[in-house]
Structure 1
Amino acid sequence: MEDDAVVDLKLVFHDLVQFEIALWNAVDARLRADCDLQLTWFEVMQLLARRSECRIQDVAEEFGITVGGTSKVVDRIEAAGYCRRRANPNDRRSSLVELTPEGRRLADRAMEVFEAELETRVGSVIPEQDLERFAATLSALRAGGAQPGCAVSAGQESA
C-alpha cells in the first residue's frame, strides 16, 4: 500500500528548531554547572584546540558570525585566562589565537561533559542506525543550504 502522507515542512522546521533550542540549553546548563563554562565559549575553545594556527577571521568563518562579534567573544575568553593572542608571523595585520594551558585543561574537561550530555540527550534516545541516517540527513541539508542561490547560508548561523 502506497503512503500518500505529505510531510508538513513547517512542522519539521518547528520540531527541528525547538529540539535545537532545547539541546543547546541543556548542554549549556550542564557545561555551566560542571565546568563554569558557557557553550558559546566552549565551541570557540574546541575550535582553538583543534587548530594550531587560528585567526579571528577563521573563527568567524567557522561559526558564520561577524569578525567583530568573534573578536568580542575571544576578548572575553582571553580576559578569563583561557586563550591568548600572539603575533601572526605570516601576516602582521592579524594575530593568532591559542588556548592557554588552563584553557586546554578546561576544554578537555568540558569535552567530557559535552559528550556525556549528548549521549544522554541524543545517543541514548535514538538507535545507532537511525542516528547515522539522521547525521547524514543533517549533513546533506547543511551542504544543500550552502549552495549558491539557496536561501539558507552559513552566514545566518550564530555562535
Structure 2
Amino acid sequence: MVLSGPLRERHGIVTSQFGFLRRLHDHPGSRVAALAAESAVGVGATSKGVDRLEKQGRVLRQPNPSDRRSSLLALTDDGSQLVDAAEKTFTDGLAELTGNTPDDSPASATVHTVSKLRSVPERGQIGTPTS
C-alpha cells in the first residue's frame, strides 16, 4: 500500500502501528480502550498491537492510579522519535494517495482527502448491504 510500504521500509512499522503511536503522541496517558475506540479496532487487537510496540521499546504501560485493572500508555523516547521521523513519510504517502499538493489549503486538502478516502470502500461496496 502507498502508506504501509514506505513506513515499513523507512521506519520498520506499518500504518496501524503509526496510527497507535501518533494517537499516543497526541494523547499521552490513554488507555487501550480509548486507543481502540479512536482507531475503530477491537480492544483485543489494539492490546496485541500495543504489546508488540511495547516489546519493541516504543510504548510503556504504566499503572492507572484510578483503576488497578487498566494501564495508561505512554511513548518511550524511542517511540516519540519514531513518530516524528515517520510523520513526513506518512504525510507524503497520504498526499500521493489523495493527489494533494503542499500548495493545497488545509481545509481544501482535508475535504479532498476525506472524499478520496470515502470513495475507496464505496467503489468496493464495503459496508453496503448485499440485498
Say whether residues 1:83 and 2:59 are aligned partners. Answer: yes
Letter in 2 for 1:107: V
* Structure 2 residue aligned with 1:123: 100
* Count of aligned pairs between the two proteins: 116
Identity %: 30
Q: Distance in 2 between matches of 1:108 and 1:130?
A: 24
Match of 1:55 among 12, 28, 31: 31
Alpha-carbon shift at residue 40 of structure 1 (Å)? 1.1
Q: Distance in 2 between matches of 1:52 and 1:135?
A: 26
Give the 3 Å change call, closer, same or farther, for CA 98–132 of structure 1 in structure 2.
closer
TM-score under structure 1 length normalisation:
0.64
CA deviation vs aligned residue, 1:125-153 (integer Å, no higher than 9, x gap): x9658645435758xx8xxxxxxxxxx7x
Letter in 2 for 1:59: L
Say whether residues 1:66 and 2:42 are aligned partners. Answer: yes
Task: Flag the structure with larger Rg.
Answer: 1
* Structure 2 residue aligned with 1:94: 70
SS in 2 for 1:92: coil
Match of 1:134 among 112, 118, 123: 112
TM-score under structure 2 length normalisation:
0.76
